[in-house]
């Protein structure tokens, strides 16, 4: 079994947020588009189309800077519930083709096809073309797919053919495929590591292959060992069947600093609605609630409290409101508020509790359905 060839595919949705927005509004197709916050405030770019990237626009860039680089840029506010919905549906569909699928992020997943060769006429490379076409035909989402002998190699390979590409790295040709790529192609090689590597003459992965593990460890410690092994085609072949989120959080950076407590509480309740709804969607309840506040001078304070498991907006808001009143000094206005729900438990276990009112759970589910259909502002759950 240890000698069995491994077949790991990496599927990466191209400009995922923008792609979903283009499904909703085809007039955006072919135009420079970003999903992000307002350029009048402190909004940042969450996703940029390749038309926008041609102007130098990148993710995490301030929206105002992006607009200066591309005056014709179209900025769309994110609809993260919609993105999650598309991601969930695609994940479930991929389970029809691979026995093990791992979600690496909302727009990336790994699929283990090891042992499935006969199911696809012993031609997995051809099936990758079929799979890529299926994602477009059924979901209208452009994607890049790479097939290789391990996860990290598949991810690197996908990066060489984005967007809307397909790459297969044959077994035994891993080092040959990697050799000409720049060292920064290896995930984890950031600007500092890249500069240090190039300072010592390492510019391509071939340069790493011709070095030694001992030299790389001396240069970059444990990271150097990792880079050396990846350069030589090594990587994990373990695709995890499931992954439960340990926490769910949401934060909001204000367009202008806020000091008024009533206004802060209003913003805070909106954040609570967002995270509570997401937790309910995951069929979970939270035992730990954390409030994050950031002052205008960037001083950040985080305070947490443990409660009986809950996903009820008013219950969670009551806790974070108390944390805000207790910990916000008012010495400076705030630029950010955030709420994190963690220590998540399965709500179905909690429903066995005799003190849980099942009617309340049904009310909250109905509220979530209305919000998904008509928007977050259509209905509010009382905050007290």
DSSP state of 219: H
286, 344 Cβ separation under 8 angstroms: yes
- Token pair 């891993």 is found at 174
Q: Which of 21, 51, 102, 108 is catalytic?
A: 108
252, 337 Cβ separation under 8 angstroms: yes
* Burial category of 192 from C-beta neighbours within 10 Å (exposed 0-12, middle 13-18, buried 19 and up): exposed
Give the whole-angstrom CA distance, residue 17 versus residue 83.
6
Q: How many CB atoms lie within 10 A of CB 358?
A: 8
Q: Going by C-beta distance under 8 Å and a sequence separation of 6 or more, which residues neighbour residue 267?
A: 252, 254, 258, 337
Q: Is the omega angle on the peptide bond into residue 163 within 30 degrees of 0, that is, cis? A: yes
Alpha helices in the chain (DSSP H): 16-24, 50-53, 63-69, 80-94, 124-139, 151-161, 174-178, 191-199, 205-209, 213-220, 222-231, 261-281, 313-327, 347-350, 358-374
CA separation (Å) from 379 to 20, 266, 367, 382?
25, 15, 7, 10
**184 among known catalytic residues:** no
The residues annotated as belonging to the active site are 108
């Amino acid at each position: 079994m240890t000698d069995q060839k491994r077949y790991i595919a990496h599927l990466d949705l191209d400009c995922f947020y923008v792609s979903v927005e283009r499904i909703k509004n085809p007039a955006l197709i072919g135009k420079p588009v970003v999903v992000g916050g307002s350029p009048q405030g402190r909004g940042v770019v969450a996703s940029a189309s390749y038309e926008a990237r041609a102007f130098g626009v990148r993710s995490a860039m301030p929206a105002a800077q992006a607009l200066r680089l591309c005056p014709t840029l179209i900025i769309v506010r994110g609809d993260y519930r919609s993105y999650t919905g598309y991601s969930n549906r695609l994940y479930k569909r991929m389970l029809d083709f691979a026995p093990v699928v791992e979600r690496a992020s909302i727009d990336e997943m790994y699929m283990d096809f090891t042992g499935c060769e006969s199911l696809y006429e012993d031609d997995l490379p051809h099936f990758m073309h079929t799979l890529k076409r299926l994602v477009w035909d059924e979901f209208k989402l452009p994607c890049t797919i790479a097939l290789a002998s391990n996860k990290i190699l598949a991810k690197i390979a996908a990066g060489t053919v984005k967007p809307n590409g397909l790459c297969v790295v044959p077994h035994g040709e891993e080092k040959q495929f990697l050799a000409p790529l720049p060292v920064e192609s290896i995930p984890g090689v950031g600007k500092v590591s890249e500069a240090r590597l190039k300072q010592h003459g390492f510019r391509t992965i071939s340069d790493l292959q011709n070095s030694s593990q001992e030299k790389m460890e001396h240069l970059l410690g444990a990271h150097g060992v990792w880079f050396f092994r990846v350069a030589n085609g090594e990587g994990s072949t373990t695709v995890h069947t499931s992954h439960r989120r340990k926490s769910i959080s949401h934060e909001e950076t204000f367009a202008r600093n806020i000091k008024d407590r009533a206004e802060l509480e209003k913003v805070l309740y909106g954040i609570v609605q967002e995270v509570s709804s997401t937790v309910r969607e995951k069929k979970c309840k939270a035992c730990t609630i954390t409030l994050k506040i950031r002052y205008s001078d960037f001083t950040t304070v985080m305070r947490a409290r443990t409660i009986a498991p809950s996903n009820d907006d008013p219950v969670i808001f009551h806790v974070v409101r108390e944390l805000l009143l207790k910990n916000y000094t008012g010495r400076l206005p705030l630029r950010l508020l955030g709420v994190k729900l963690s220590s998540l438990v399965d709500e179905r276990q909690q429903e066995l509790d005799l003190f849980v009112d099942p009617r309340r759970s049904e009310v909250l589910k109905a509220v979530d359905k209305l919000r998904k259909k008509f928007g977050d502002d259509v209905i509010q759950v009382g905050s007290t």
